[in-house]
Amino acid sequence: MNKQILKVRVLKIELHGRLIGYVAGYQDGKAIFTFVHDYITQDMAKRSTFSLKYYKKTAKDFRYQLKSRIKLPAFFSNLLPEGELREYIVKQLKVDTDAEFDILARLGRNLPGAISAIELSSEEIPPYVLDGRINIIPEITKHPEADHFSLSGVFMKFSMFHRENEFYVSKSKNVGTWIIKIPSLRFLEVPLNEYSSMKLASAAGIAVPKVKLVKLEKIKGLPDIKMPDEEFAFAIKRFDRDAGKRIHAEDFAQVFDLYPANKYRYTNYDTLAKTIFHIFPDSIKDIQEFIARLAVNIMVGNGDAHIKNWSILYRDKINPALSPAYDILFTRAYIESENSIALNLGKEKKTDKLTLKHFEILARRAEIDWQIIKGRITETIEKARDIWPSLLKDLPMAEAQKKKLKKHWENLTPDFRIF
């Protein structure tokens, strides 16, 4: 019997500029990521961490290959944009919206974190990364180097660099250090909402990146995109970039091998808490911060803190730590009927039913001593009650949304009610 003949393209995957593996994309849609031997056999005390799944793992604990039948393996799929941001990018690149290998190949030099993906010529492809059960015809698709970036998420946003009080769209030679979210036609006043929500979170003691409201006239290089008649965009400092250098990061969808479409499914906050507390080296600090953010999301009415909105940073290239908070938004301003958080917390999702008892259940299920987190959650709630009512008056959130937020506060259980 003759072997099936397929064409294949291959990307070399680098982490901090060092080769760690290859992604082979086959004509039939299959994709296979193969680790290189030198990476997985490196001394784990010195090996840069690719994903939390492999943190402090020996070579025998590695899955040598990650396979997918239709899309890229989940880790790489999560590096790509979703929704309207994806629609915009694939239109610019002139590729199909489901052609994930092609999108990764085109955006591979400017991905989130410290991963890069660079296409190889047929002569550069190591034979062991190809499927030996079929006849392979290696090929490389010649494209001009894309001056684009990849950011995960749904809303329209751009990686930008800042110079002389103006922001410029990131190009290949200019590593963007800010993310700019422009106004949305679908949801009004989102930049003012997100800025205000992040400021409320910060006032309650949550670690957040630097944020700004930027006048649209100060943003250079934006494409011709329809926007509402609003003055400001929302700017947030990238925590995976520092002085032009890349810091590796991943979200929890990558950790749990979940595709973006499943970001609200298959896990819960209790599992995230257990992972953080039992794996992260600075476990007490990180679990207390995680618990405080959960409380803030409840109080600020953020129903979209799904698994992709929690990330890990590897500041020293090896050890995991919780990243600063991001994508905190008063979502109930736009979805009146929304009355739940994104994932279960102590077996409950309904915002108006959540109490401290559910956090105790989380602690028990995550095998965490309740006393470790009790003080931080109490402190966070007290800070919010003391500061938020007066702070909200001076924040730029639309007045109609402020009224809705106050109503949300009134509907919370006594444990989380602001006033």
Tokens coding 405: 């937020």
Distance CA 177, CA 330 (A): 25
Distance CA 118, CA 107 (A): 9
49 phi and psi angles, rounded to 5 deg = -80, 125
Tokens coding 390: 């007066």
How much is the pLDDT for 315? 97
Half-sphere exposure of 364 (CA within 13 A, CB side): 8
Closest to 116 measured CA to CA, from 21, 49, 39? 21
Distance CA 225, CA 123 (A): 41
Tokens coding 360: 């105790």
Distance CA 172, CA 181 (A): 20
How much is the pLDDT for 165? 84
Closest to 158 measured CA to CA, from 216, 210, 205, 106? 216
pLDDT, mean of each 10-residue run, the chain (419 residues): 74 97 92 96 95 95 90 96 87 89 91 95 89 67 64 81 86 77 92 98 98 95 88 97 92 97 96 98 98 98 97 98 98 90 97 98 98 98 98 98 97 96
**Coil, strand or helix: which one is 163?**
strand
Tokens coding 396: 């730029």
What are the angstrom distances between the C-alpha of 293 and each of 157, 270, 298? Answer: 23, 13, 9
The answer to whether 240 and 248 are in contact (CB under 8 A) is yes
Place of tokens 């008063």: 330
Neighbours of 109 (CB within 10 A): 16
Distance CA 300, CA 12 (A): 43
Tokens coding 289: 């911060």
The answer to whether 324 and 208 are in contact (CB under 8 A) is yes
User: Dihedral, CA atoms, 407, 403, 263, 175, nearest 10 degrees?
Assistant: -150
Distance CA 127, CA 261 (A): 33
Q: Which residues pair with 169 in a beta bridge?
A: 160
Half-sphere exposure of 289 (CA within 13 A, CB side): 19
How much is the pLDDT for 92? 83
Q: What is the pTM of this model?
A: 0.93
Tokens coding 397: 């959130």
Q: What's the start-to-end Cα distance of the chain, in Å? A: 75
Q: Which amino acid type is present at position 35?
A: F
How much is the pLDDT for 1? 42
User: 306 CB contacts (<8 Å, ≥6 apart)?
Assistant: 263, 264, 342, 343
What are the angstrom distances between the C-alpha of 255 and each of 98, 157, 407, 415? Answer: 22, 24, 36, 32
Query: What positions carry a catalytic annotation?
Result: 304
Distance CA 397, CA 78 (A): 31
The answer to whether 193 and 217 are in contact (CB under 8 A) is no
Closest to 253 measured CA to CA, from 326, 309, 315? 309
Place of tokens 């946003």: 157
Degrees (nearest 5) of the Cα angle 348, 351, 354?
55
How much is the pLDDT for 354? 98
User: Dihedral, CA atoms, 316, 317, 323, 324, nearest 10 degrees?
Assistant: 50
